Amino acid sequence: MLTETGGVPLLVMRDLVIEASGAGRPQRIVDGIDLELHAGEVLGLIGESGAGKSTIGLAALGYVRPGCRFAGGTIHFNGQNLLDLPPQHRRALRGTRIAYVAQSATASFNPAHRLIDQAVETATRQAGMGRRQAEQEARELFARLALPDPDRIGERFPHELSGGQLQRVMIAMAMICRPDLIVFDEPTTALDVTTQVEILACVRDVVEAFGTAAIYITHDLAVVTQLAHRIVVLRHGRIVEEAPTRAMLAAPRETYTRSLWAVRKIRKAPEPDHGAALLELAGVGASYGSVPVLRDVSLTVGKGRTVALVGESGSGKSTLARVVAGLLPPTAGRVLLQGGGLPGRLRDRSRDELRRVQLIHQSPDAALNPHHSIRETIGRPLQLYNGLKGAARAARLYELMALVELKPELLDRLPNALSGGQKQRVCIARALAADPELLICDEVTSALDQVVQADILAMLQRLQKELGLSCLFITHDIATVRAIADEVVVMRHGAVVESGPRDTVLEAPSDAYTRLLLSCVPDVDPDWLTRLLQQRAIPGDMHDAL
């Protein structure tokens, strides 16, 4: 993993400016970027959403999204300025010399075509490879990337594969013409951690094997350190800091760079167990139609404590939240709130029972009515549950806004005038308006940037302490668990595999799956992936094997 320094760089961006023509005057989303990338080098681009990472990645292919335009600067690839090339010459480079791997493989494969047809398209149509040879090449790449049944998997349609498998097919598709440069645009963001490890291993394997240069875009510092020789930190379309990976980790210069670690540093001091249980689930089962999703789930949330519910997508964590909230009646078992049974169906619950359990969703964008002002959104539960009106209601509104650290001026805005973090605070304020005893937080920080996540988590901790709330916190992110949980419950395939105090479960897990899950959480350490793969000794598909 040596950075090649001699010779002419493969890719050079000089003073690159890209503008988005929104409402009103054009906005600079990439604002004077200088980048160099040598053959065989892996460059990590890291930053929050809106930092311009993807735009820069796409610019490396001489492409801007509709509504954007190149407004200045140059992009030289192999000595040619991509921006001066006629469109058909630029197109000829795409897929053959410069390839792209998209964030969501599920959305980026054409649902109407077989995978093999999509994988060989560039090779046969652009690079003049014969169909038979291209298919052979694709099958070899499928095998190299440890896809099951590599000789026949190409005959399938995209909807017939899992997200992780599709992401590998996409890497094979990018590799088929042996490009000089591949742009990886957050290829693991949509995947579970156990799948993420395998994709990271695949990316590193092919990039090293074929000596391909790569731009690896992510918001996750731990991920990028496993692959990149050099890291560029971006913010607001500008470069904040640039350094070789190990140098940056050892001594980050800018405070912004350090703040990217923010969430990982928070660690909650465990709340003492008072022994009193607020929420108890005993042998709960649930199903969607005839498909069982929860089997015999039992757990307890103590008064004033936070229980983190951990698991991969499809493990049933959100379904459990729906059962507790009354959105999905259980097929078996009991849900008890302070010793009293909670009716399974929402409409059978009394208004007071509804008030005591409040749910906060993952995506604040989807959870807020875009036509209701913040005042209406938070004011509704105040009136419904507590019968507050007029001046009393207004006073409580101001209190709630102060509680979630929002300025009262925002009360008369519509949700689309707020940032993602502000919207999530509004959702929290709406839940608090009911004076609940139990908060169910379903991945409430997953859609937010690291820095915003840290703020929201710190605020939730403070609120919990001040108001004595109990919290069922659903997440797939172990760093978040460390930051917020007193107890951890690990779920898999709709059942609880392990539960206990946070430090016991995280530091000394007794269950094999918990150990696998924890081992897959990347560390901010460039040797982490190498060590993990060595420990596993058997390369390949741990996730499907287990």
Strand ranges for 107-261 from DSSP E = 181-185, 213-218, 230-235, 238-244
The reply on whether position 61 binds other proteins by CB under 8 A is yes
Any contact of residue 541 with other proteins (CB under 8 A)? no
Among 14, 28, 94, 334, binds other proteins (CB under 8 A): 94
Angstrom distance (rounded) from CA 4 to CA 40: 7
Query: Which of residues 8, 22, 113, 412 is near other proteins by CB under 8 A?
Result: 113
Dist. CA 78–CA 244, nearest whole Å: 23
Cα gap 507→115, rounded to integer Å? 42
Q: In what order do the strands lie in the sheet with 11-20?
A: 27-37, 11-20, 68-77, 80-81
Least CB distance to other proteins at residue 476 (A): 23
Residue selected from 93, 134, 432, 441 as contacting other proteins according to rule CB under 8 A: 93
Beta strands in 219-368 (DSSP E): 230-235, 238-244, 277-288, 291-302, 306-310, 332-337, 340-341, 357-360
Q: Which residues contact 19 (CB under 8 A, 6 or more apart)?
A: 26, 27, 28, 29, 68, 69, 71
- For residue 252, what are the CA distances in angstroms to 93, 233, 449? 36, 10, 19
Least distance in angstroms from the C-beta of 80 to other proteins = 15
Q: Check residue 149 for interaction with other proteins (CB under 8 A).
A: yes
Shortest Å, Cβ 159 to other proteins: 5
Of the candidates 225, 306, 230, which has an alpha carbon nearest to the alpha carbon of residue 260? 225
313 lies in the site for other proteins, by CB under 8 A: no
Compute the chain's Rg from CA coordinates: 25
Task: Give least dist CB 484 to other proteins, A.
Answer: 33
Among 21, 22, 34, 107, binds other proteins (CB under 8 A): 107
x/- letters, 257..296, toward other proteins (CB under 8 A)? ----------------------------------------
Q: Is 382 in the site for other proteins (CB under 8 A)?
A: no
Residue with smaller CB distance to other proteins, 153 or 260 = 153
Q: Which of 70, 77, 100, 513 binds other proteins (CB under 8 A)?
A: 100
151 interacts with other proteins by CB under 8 A: no
- 493 binds other proteins per the rule CB under 8 A: no
- The CA distance from 255 to 458, in Å, is 19
Query: Is 161 a residue that touches other proteins (CB under 8 A)?
Result: yes
518 near other proteins (CB under 8 A)? no
Do residues 486 and 270 touch, judged by C-beta distance below 8 A?
Answer: yes
Choosing from 3, 108, 189, 504, the residue that interacts with other proteins (CB under 8 A) is 108
Q: State the number of binding residues for other proteins (CB under 8 A).
A: 34
Any contact of residue 96 with other proteins (CB under 8 A)?
Answer: yes
- Please give the residues from 164 up to 183 whose contact with other proteins meets the rule CB under 8 A: 173
Among 80, 104, 136, 530, binds other proteins (CB under 8 A): 104
Regarding 65 and contact with other proteins (CB under 8 A), the answer is: yes
Shortest distance (Å) from residue 170 CB to other proteins? 8
- Residue 357 CA to residue 353 CA, distance in Å, equals 7
Query: What tokens were used for 42?
Result: 């892996």
Least distance (Å) between residue 288 CB and other proteins: 14
Under 8 Å between Cβ of 20 and 8: no
Nearest to 309 by CA among 509, 443, 427, 438: 443
Is residue 347 at the binding interface for other proteins, with CB under 8 A as the rule? no
Sheet holding 98-101, edge to edge: 98-101, 181-185, 213-218, 42-46, 230-235, 238-244
Tokens representing 529 are 């992936």
Confirm or reject binding of residue 109 to other proteins (CB under 8 A).
yes
Q: Is 385 in the site for other proteins (CB under 8 A)?
A: no
Does the protein bind other proteins through residue 208 (CB under 8 A)?
no
Enumerate the β-bridge partners of residue 23.
none
Question: Residue 418 region, left (φ>0) first, then alpha (ψ -120 to 50), else beta?
Answer: beta
Among 6, 7, 128, 159, interactor with other proteins by CB under 8 A: 159
Residue choice 4, 36, 121, 405 for contact with other proteins (CB under 8 A): 121
When binding is defined by CB under 8 A, the residue of 20, 71, 92, 384 that contacts other proteins is 92
102 binds other proteins (CB under 8 A): yes
Relative to beta strand 80-81, strand 238-244 is: unpaired
Q: Does residue 157 belong to the site contacting other proteins (CB under 8 A)? A: yes
| Nearer to other proteins among residue 122 and residue 377 (C-beta) | 122
CB of 418: closest distance to other proteins in angstroms?
25
Q: How many Cα neighbours within 13 Å face the side chain of 282?
A: 9
Interacting span for other proteins (CB under 8 A) from 151-159, 307-315, 387-395, 481-489: 151-159
Instruction: Name which of residues 30 to 59 contact other proteins (CB under 8 A).
Output: 58
Site for other proteins in 72-91 (CB under 8 A): 88, 91
Q: What's the CA gap between 357 and 250, in Å, rounded?
A: 45
Q: How far apart are the first and last CA of the chain?
A: 31
Instruction: Tell me the DSSP string of 80-104.
Output: EETTTS-HHHHHHHBTTTEEEE-S-
Residue of 348, 432, 423 whose CA lies nearest to 386: 432
Among 110, 133, 350, 369, binds other proteins (CB under 8 A): 110
* Shortest separation between residue 363's beta carbon and other proteins, angstroms: 18
Q: Which residues would be at the binding site for other proteins (CB under 8 A)?
A: 58, 61, 63, 65-66, 88, 91-96, 99-100, 102, 104, 107-113, 121-122, 125-126, 149, 156-157, 159-161, 173
